[in-house]
């Protein structure tokens, strides 16, 4: 299965209170989008990478083009609407959508998500992390869903059959992931601080078994 990774990098990032575009904010000495791109490049099941930008992230677009990546300008109306726009515009097949602000994602985890999607036989998959992990680490959350009695937060990683994008409702697989590194979706300065701490050598070693 040839999977296209669609990196969503068009958000305003207003909560960061920074003049710099959020995907280009440095984590561990590198722009956070670079961490995501490196994870995708190392994933065995990702065939192609596309970076979805907007009028809010022109420097991110330039950054991606300099790395010979395909860049698509989207309306900048949010993750879901921009992802749908890109899938329709480029007529994509199987797509892994991922936020540009997930700097702790590993290549092995990306492959794990795609493998789960292949095995579940459903047209859509959403990765979710228990709310208690966000509370434990002091991370921000946008949405919390109650599923099977659990409070879960979307991690910003999805897989979808792009050929079925026009259907009103798609049967969805929920992949529950009890993984602190997957939870680190940077939206605030406190989230950035947590990411920096977790990139320290002692932290990487203690968390490696959870990937």
Report the distance separating Cα 192 and Cα 186, nearest Å. 6
Per-residue pLDDT averaged across 190-204, rounded?
80
Q: Which two tokens stand for residue 145?
A: 């869903």
Whether the per-residue pLDDT at 201 is higher than 70: the answer is no
Between 34 and 78, name the one with better pLDDT.
Answer: 34
Report the distance separating Cα 107 and Cα 98, nearest Å. 13
Q: Are strands 150-161 and 3-8 parallel, antiparallel or unpaired?
A: unpaired
Average per-residue pLDDT in the chain? 91
Q: What is the pLDDT of residue 208?
A: 40
Between 77 and 4, name the one with better pLDDT.
Answer: 4
Q: Which two tokens stand for residue 135?
A: 């509370």
pLDDT in tens, 139-194: 999 899 999 899 999 999 999 999 999 998 899 999 999 999 999 999 999 999 99
pLDDT in tens, 62-77: 999 999 999 999 999 8
Whether the per-residue pLDDT at 203 is higher than 60: the answer is no
Q: Exposed, middle or buried by CB within 10 Å (0-12, 13-18, 19+), for 140?
A: middle
Report the distance separating Cα 65 and Cα 51, nearest Å. 9
Between 60 and 15, name the one with better pLDDT.
Answer: 60
Phi, psi of 81 (to 5 degrees): -65, -40
pLDDT in tens, 112-138: 999 999 999 999 999 999 999 999 999
The total of other beta-carbon atoms located within 10 Å of residue 176's CB is: 13
pTM of the model: 0.90
% of the chain beyond a pLDDT of 90:
84
Which among 101, 103, 100, 184 has a CA at the least distance from the CA of 136? 184
Q: What is the pLDDT of residue 11?
A: 83
């Amino acid at each position: 299965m040839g999977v296209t990774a669609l990196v969503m990098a068009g958000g305003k990032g207003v909560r960061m209170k920074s003049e710099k575009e959020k995907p280009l904010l440095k984590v561990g000495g590198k722009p956070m989008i670079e961490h995501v791109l490196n994870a995708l490049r190392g994933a065995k099941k990702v065939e192609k990478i596309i970076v979805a930008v907007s009028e809010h992230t022109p420097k991110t677009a330039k950054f991606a083009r300099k790395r010979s990546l395909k860049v698509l300008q989207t309306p900048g109306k949010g993750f879901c609407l921009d992802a749908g726009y890109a899938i329709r515009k480029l007529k994509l097949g199987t797509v892994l959508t991922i936020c540009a602000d997930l700097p702790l994602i590993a290549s092995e985890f990306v492959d794990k998500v795609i493998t789960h999607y292949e095995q579940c036989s459903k047209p859509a998959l959403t990765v979710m992390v228990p709310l208690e992990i966000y509370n434990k680490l002091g991370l921000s959350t946008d949405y919390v869903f109650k599923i099977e009695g659990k409070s879960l937060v979307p991690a910003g990683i999805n897989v979808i059959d792009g050929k079925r994008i026009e259907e009103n409702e798609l049967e969805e697989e929920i992949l529950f992931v009890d993984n602190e590194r997957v939870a680190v979706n940077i939206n605030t300065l406190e989230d950035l601080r947590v990411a920096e701490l977790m990139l320290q050598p002692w932290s990487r070693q203690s968390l490696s078994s959870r990937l």
